[in-house]
Amino acid sequence: MTAPGLPSGGGCRTAPVIKERGQREVFCGLTGIVWLHRKMQDAFFLVVGSRTCAHLLQAAAGVMIFAEPRFGTAILEEGDLAGMADAHEELDREVAKLLSRRPDIRQLFLVGSCPSEVIKIDLSKAAERLSQRFAPRVRVLNYSGSGIETTFTEGEDACLASMVPVLPRTEARELLVVGALPDVVEDQMVGLLEAMGIGPIRLLPARRIDDETAVGPNTVFALAQPFLGETHAALLRRGARHLAAPFPFGEEGTTAWLAAIAREFGVDAETFERVTAAPRARARKAVAAAARTLSGKTVFFLPDSQLEIPLARFLARECGMTPVEVASPYIHDAIHGPDLDLLPAGPRIAEGQDVDLQLDRVRADRPDLTVCGLGLANPLEAEGLSTKWAIELVFTPVHFYEQAGDLAALFARPLRRKALLKLEAAE
Amino acid sequence: MKLSVWTYEGPPHVGAMRIATAMKGLHYVLHAPQGDTYADLLFTMIERRNHRPPVSYTTFQARDLGADTAGLFKTACRDAVARFDPQAIIVGASCTAELIQDDPGGMSETMGFSIPVIPLELPSYQRKENYGCDETFYRLCRALARPQDRTPRITCNILGGTALGFRHRDDIREITGLLADMGIEVNVSAPLDATPADLARLPAAHFNVLLYPETAETAARWLEREHGQPFTKTIPIGVGATRDFVAEVQKITGLGTRPDETHLRMPWWSASVDSTYLTGKRVFLFGDGTHVMAMARVARDEMGFEVVGMGCYNREQARALRKCAEGYGVEALITDDYLEVEEAIERLAPEMILGTQMERHIGKRLGIPCAVISAPVHVQDFPARYSPVMGFEGANVLFDTLVHPLVMGLEEHLLAMFREDFEFHDDAGASHHGHKAKARTEESARPPERADEQPAAESSFDIVWLPAAEKELKKIPFFVRGKARRNTETFAARKGVREISVDTLYEAKAHYAR
């Protein structure tokens, strides 16, 4: 149960951070709905916004939009902008219609957008009012997924943070794991922790509203995702204690994450070794296969999801890559610190973005692999750069031991493809 | 407020992006919050463009509100002009920026750029994507087109091609070739691949070919009024419409040359006996007004289908479509709510749907074959191969497009029908000639319970099938049995009949017969 060794040349925790402001090529927090609604099976996400918001969800959800998804947009019309009074009546009417059509819905999230924030529709008041009206069957909560306040995965953070104040109180000493993970990954995680004798394990978000997630002064919580700053703060406010750890990407990250929890719950070294030895060996073997392609290559992360720092750490330490720039939309010392400690010194660390200036640096560096959004990926490929589009890292199971090989393969595949394709005419 | 999951059209600033991205040498400075850059990926992914759309966003955040969003806008303008060196810029606001009232037009005009600055007013809470295209292109023409002499030879402009347009790339190539056959050169094709300098030359052409009224009709009308250029009204989709289009162009120009029809195969394909089974196939059409109206003619007059319903999502075309629908004896459905479209399709129970990406999924859900004829479309409808829908090659493409889902449908029925056959069962192996084929055992030979043979009680709460009728129903081939059951029950419910007898079954059959 030893902590991973710190890099010999020092980590990046104290490295100077390039802080940029300018045009940002990022998603807004509404996008979080696309994966959150699948995790929370009895929840509906109602965005109060414009046609742009509906169009964004459609573009982000792709074909998922046709599978009776549990999200939608109440599109503001001209009349809604004129008088504030009936915006609430309109919303109540749409919600009543929705809930009568979907009796299976137990939690309704009113999700704020840029337009609703700018005209200051009080969605928290609306949530309170609607909660009373539809209690006890439906709980109505509110959070903002607007672009002016949230970037991409921060939408999940805002959603979970809105749930924290209404979670039941408990005095029990329990572990709470925070962050939506694919079911298969969540099951693996719970399996590993239970095998060490840790339990009961509470999850936020739970799959259903009736699954018992409670919080109190004896709760300790671990974050499974690095973008949960607000939720972190909300849990501290309820007296819970955070277990700082690197994020569970790769063999090393997963081991360090599990070890932090094992230490807290007094698991002995022998038990830890017995539970983790076999999956660690499997993970190392699987990563090694992809690392053959990745080793010695340079990688550039554009800001997207806040997963960039832990992923750069994984690629640098376990796959032999050299990060040249690691940019994140936000860097939070209490959350990203342990991964920054482990990330070998060298790369530029950047927070925020001015996309044109950053692209100038990409072109100057000509990295072997650029991790970026879909708006930039094809244009950079056309300039001869290999890219890995970042959104896939949020949707695909990538955490913990069994997915470590898949995670490395996601980065190796574009490089292997580039080597395989011979499309140039013979000279 | 209106609850919506699927939107046929994006907001109007996406329409303006479609114009900016279609053109070269033009840049769009869009006052918009962080996150609105999502629209870039429509162009880089769906259309697979190899460059970023020429759009600079101010991407303001909450902390900028109340401070200096106007300053952000000016900086973005200055940076865009310095970095991209465009011939002209368009400036405007997205839906959120519309609410904070910074007036991009006013600000940019005072900044003293040496290039034309064209402000856009796009009301995001009233209008949509197609309006955004049409209005932007009109504003560009107004600002840039200069009075000038006509070209010595007869030339025309092709108007309406945009980025993210359904088959625009190949339609323009096809129509350019068709016009060349007639001895007519294209002066400017715009907005697709045109520069602001090209737009200045628009009035040199003798007339305009308006390919997509959705995106360029206002500009075409303005050019007619201001520069005396007539524009074509026929949309050359299908054989008949293409020939009408040729006649219209001949009338405008006085030229008599006809285009080459050597490679037009569609009429013979449709006349050949193999196509007889297409006769009277009941089709439902939905999409943008232009494509629906044009395709209705193809469906009825060139494929021999029966049009049982048609509609469009863009209300700009509502009047024309209503009138067109009258000619087919059906009522037009004007809606942007896909649930209404789904309801109409369910009610009309067509044998084929011609629609958008959304109707493709409705078709999948209802088990009805579907071909995509209009935007919004997904990545697979921006094909690598040449696939126009206009002109004579377009007609060839359409025949294949419309027939394939049906052939596939027939294939599927046949495979299902023979699945229980002693030679074709699942264990038979790849070839029934091979010695590996195993005879069916008594156990596996028993036909499996089919989902559509569930007791009637499940699908209708108070309608009862009498045993004789139930027995008669079993005689109907199983692949149409489900439909027969559904039709009979619908018929019975409408007539207020509680018990379905053999007579009810055949009355229903007669009712739905054509």
Residue B445: pLDDT over 60: no
Cα B36 to chain centroid, rounded: 24
| B7, B76, B99: residue with CB nearest A58 | B7
**In a 3-state reduction of DSSP, which class is residue B425?**
coil
Please write the tens of the pLDDT for every residue from B361-385.
999 888 899 999 999 988 889 999 9
CATH number of B12-132: 3.40.50.1980
Residue B433: pLDDT over 60: no
Residue of A nearest to B43 (CA): A375
Between CA B113 and CA B438 the distance in angstroms is 81
**Which pLDDT score is estimated for B463?**
84
> Do the Cβ atoms of A56 and B48 come within 8 Å?
no
Instruction: Decide: A70 and A44 in contact? Cβ < 8 Å.
Output: yes
When pLDDT is cut at 50, 70 and 90, the band that residue B119 belongs to is very high
Four-residue CA torsion sign, B451, B455, B461, B463: positive
Stretch (H or E) spanning A313: helix A308-319
What percent of chain A has pLDDT above 90? 86
Q: How confident is the prediction for chain A on average, in pLDDT?
A: 94
Q: Which is more confident, A64 or A252? A: A252
Between CA B190 and CA B137 the distance in angstroms is 9
| A22, A29, A94: residue with CB nearest B1 | A94
Least confident of A119-123, B95-99, B150-154, B408-412: B408-412
When pLDDT is cut at 50, 70 and 90, the band that residue A5 belongs to is confident
Cα A45 to chain centroid, rounded: 17
> Do the Cβ atoms of B52 and A75 come within 8 Å?
no
Q: Give the pairing type, strands B2-4 and A71-75.
A: antiparallel
Residue B415: pLDDT over 80: no
User: Does the structural domain A29-150 have CATH classification 3.30.160.20?
Assistant: no
Residue B457: pLDDT over 50: no
**Segment A390-397 mean pLDDT:** 90
Q: Which is more confident, A374 or B101? A: A374
Between CA A98 and CA A94 the distance in angstroms is 6
Instruction: Decide: A224 and A178 in contact? Cβ < 8 Å.
Output: yes
List Cα–Cα distances, B363 to A66, B140, B270, B279, B283, in angstroms: 11, 40, 24, 20, 12
CB within 8 Å of A379: residues ≥ 6 apart: B44, B49, B50, B51, B52
Residues 133-172 of chain A with CB under 8 A from chain B are: 146-149, 151
**Which of B3, B27, B50, B73 has the most A C-beta neighbours within 10 Å, making it the best mutation to test the interface with A?**
B3
**Which pLDDT score is estimated for B461?**
57
Please write the tens of the pLDDT for every residue from B325-343.
999 999 999 999 988 999 9
When pLDDT is cut at 50, 70 and 90, the band that residue B509 belongs to is confident
Cα A122 to chain centroid, rounded: 27
Q: What are the residue ranges of CATH 3.40.50.1980 in chain A?
A: 17-25+281-426, 29-150, 174-264
CA angle B405/B406/B409 to nearest 5° reads 90
Whether chain B has a CB inside 8 Å of the CB on A64: the answer is no
Per-residue tokens: A269: 């070294």
When pLDDT is cut at 50, 70 and 90, the band that residue B253 belongs to is very high
Per-residue tokens: B14: 């996406």
Residue A85: pLDDT over 90: no
**Which pLDDT score is estimated for B431?**
46
Instruction: Decide: A298 and A321 in contact? Cβ < 8 Å.
Output: yes
Strand partners, B55: B28
Q: Of A113, A116, A250, A257, whose CA–CA distance to A177 is shortest?
A: A257
When pLDDT is cut at 50, 70 and 90, the band that residue A150 belongs to is very high
**Which pLDDT score is estimated for B452?**
46
Stretch (H or E) spanning A188: helix A183-195
Which chain B residues are closer than 8 Å to A130 by Cβ?
none
Residues 23-42 of chain A with CB under 8 A from chain B are: 23-31
Residue A331: pLDDT over 90: yes
Residues 98-117 of chain A with CB under 8 A from chain B are: 98, 114-115, 117
Nearest-CA distance from B461 to chain A in Å?
20
> Do the Cβ atoms of A80 and B60 come within 8 Å?
no
Q: Which residue has the tokens 């070890």?
A: A259
Residue of B nearest to A149 (CA): B62
Query: Any idea what DSSP says for residue B369?
Result: -
**Which pLDDT score is estimated for A3?**
74
Task: Assign residue A15 a region (left: φ > 0; alpha: ψ between -120 and 50; beta: otherwise).
Answer: beta
Q: Which of A55-69, A355-369, B274-288, B483-497 has the highest mean pLDDT?
A: A355-369
**In a 3-state reduction of DSSP, which class is residue A78?**
helix
Nearest-CA distance from A243 to chain B in Å?
31
Q: Which is more confident, B218 or A392? A: B218
End-to-end CA distance of chain A: give it in Å, rounded: 57
Whether chain B has a CB inside 8 Å of the CB on A119: the answer is yes
SS (H, E, C) A19-38: EECCCCCCCEHHHHHHHHHH
Across the beta sheet with A175-178, the strand order is A201-204, A175-178, A220-223, A241-242
**Segment B115-138 mean pLDDT:** 97
| B9, B40, B50: residue with CB nearest A375 | B40
Between CA B337 and CA B328 the distance in angstroms is 23
Which chain A residues are closer than 8 Å to B358 by Cβ?
66
Between CA A72 and CA A299 the distance in angstroms is 37
CATH class of domain segment(s) B266-413: alpha beta
| A24, A93, A149: residue with CB nearest B59 | A24
**Which pLDDT score is estimated for B454?**
44
Residue B446: pLDDT over 50: no
Which chain A residues are closer than 8 Å to B4 by Cβ?
54, 72-75
Per-residue tokens: A112: 């704020």
pTM for the predicted model, two decimal places: 0.90
**Which of A378, A383, A385 has the most B C-beta neighbours within 10 Å, making it the best mutation to test the interface with B?**
A378
**Which pLDDT score is estimated for A10?**
87
**Which pLDDT score is estimated for B432?**
45
What percent of chain B has pLDDT above 90? 72
Instruction: Decide: A192 and A215 in contact? Cβ < 8 Å.
Output: no
Instruction: Decide: B361 and A66 in contact? Cβ < 8 Å.
Output: yes
Which residues of A belong to the annotated binding site for [4Fe-4S] cluster? 28, 53, 114
CATH class of domain segment(s) A17-25+281-426: alpha beta
Stretch (H or E) spanning B284: strand B282-287
**Segment A82-93 mean pLDDT:** 82
DSSP A129-155: HHHHHHTTT-EEEEEE--TTT-BTTHH
Q: Is the peptide bond before B376 cis (omega within 30 degrees of 0)?
A: yes
**Segment A86-110 mean pLDDT:** 92
- Side chain identity, residue B24: K
**Which pLDDT score is estimated for B417?**
63
| B2, B41, B124: residue with CB nearest A374 | B41
Query: Any idea what DSSP says for residue A216?
Result: -
Fold observed for domain B449-513: Helicase, Ruva Protein; domain 3 (1.10.8)
**In a 3-state reduction of DSSP, which class is residue B77?**
helix
Which chain A residues are closer than 8 Å to B60 by Cβ?
148
SS (H, E, C) B106-166: HHHHCCCCCCCEEECCCCCCCCCHHHHHHHHHHHHHHHHCCCCCCCCCCEEEEEEECCCCC
CATH number of A174-264: 3.40.50.1980
Which chain B residues are closer than 8 Å to A146 by Cβ?
33, 35, 62
Longest dimension (CA), chain B: 88
Residue B321 annotated in ligand binding? no
Between CA B125 and CA A50 the distance in angstroms is 7
Q: Of B126, B180, B106, whose CA–CA distance to A79 is shortest?
A: B126
Residues 228-287 of chain A with CB under 8 A from chain B are: none
Residue B428: pLDDT over 60: no
Residue B478: pLDDT over 70: no
Which chain B residues are closer than 8 Å to A29 by Cβ?
35
**Segment B433-452 mean pLDDT:** 47
**Which pLDDT score is estimated for B422?**
56
Residue B223: pLDDT over 70: yes
Q: Which residue has the tokens 């640096």?
A: A361
CA angle A105/B6/B168 to nearest 5° reads 165
**Which pLDDT score is estimated for B444?**
45
Which chain A residues are closer than 8 Å to B11 by Cβ?
50-52, 55
Nearest-CA distance from A185 to chain B in Å?
29
- Side chain identity, residue B57: Y
Nearest-CA distance from B427 to chain A in Å?
33
Please write the tens of the pLDDT for every residue from B33-59.
999 999 999 999 999 999 999 999 999
**Segment B243-268 mean pLDDT:** 96
Least confident of A184-193, A230-239, B305-314, B495-504: B495-504
Residue B256: pLDDT over 60: yes
Which chain A residues are closer than 8 Å to B42 by Cβ?
59
Instruction: Decide: B43 and B379 in contact? Cβ < 8 Å.
Output: no
**Segment B491-501 mean pLDDT:** 89
> Do the Cβ atoms of B96 and A87 come within 8 Å?
no
Nearest-CA distance from A312 to chain B in Å?
24
Stretch (H or E) spanning B504: helix B502-512
What b/e readout covers B51-77, taking b as 16+ CB neighbours within 10 angstroms?
ebbbbbbbbbbbebbeeebbebbbebb
Please write the tens of the pLDDT for every residue from B296-311.
999 999 999 999 999 9
Whether chain B has a CB inside 8 Å of the CB on A82: the answer is no
**Which pLDDT score is estimated for A336?**
97
Per-residue tokens: B480: 């149409």
Residue of B nearest to A55 (CA): B10
CA angle B134/B138/B140 to nearest 5° reads 120
Query: Any idea what DSSP says for residue B447?
Result: P
Instruction: Decide: B241 and B234 in contact? Cβ < 8 Å.
Output: yes
Q: Which residue has the tokens 């070209």?
A: B151
Which chain B residues are closer than 8 Å to A30 by Cβ?
35
Between CA A329 and CA A303 the distance in angstroms is 5
Residue ranges per structural domain of chain B: 12-132, 145-253, 266-413, 449-513
**Segment A168-193 mean pLDDT:** 96
> Do the Cβ atoms of B35 and A147 come within 8 Å?
yes
Please write the tens of the pLDDT for every residue from B189-205.
999 999 999 999 999 99
Between CA B216 and CA B237 the distance in angstroms is 17
Q: Which is more confident, A40 or B459? A: A40
B274 is an active site residue? yes
Fold observed for domain B145-253: Rossmann fold (3.40.50)
Q: Quick one: angle between helices A250-264 and A333-342, nearest 10?
A: 130
> Do the Cβ atoms of B358 and A66 come within 8 Å?
yes
| A73, A151, A382: residue with CB nearest B34 | A151
Nearest-CA distance from A329 to chain B in Å?
12
**Which pLDDT score is estimated for B418?**
64
Q: Of B375, B270, B271, B260, whose CA–CA distance to B313 is shortest?
A: B375
**Which pLDDT score is estimated for B514?**
55
Active-site residue (options: B79, B85, B260, B274): B274
**Which pLDDT score is estimated for B407?**
74
**Which pLDDT score is estimated for B448?**
44
**Which pLDDT score is estimated for A344?**
97
Instruction: Decide: A71 and A57 in contact? Cβ < 8 Å.
Output: yes
Q: Of B376, B316, B308, whose CA–CA distance to B344 is shortest?
A: B308
| A48, A52, A69: residue with CB nearest B94 | A52
Per-residue tokens: A9: 């040349």
Least confident of A112-126, B209-223, B264-278, B452-466: B452-466
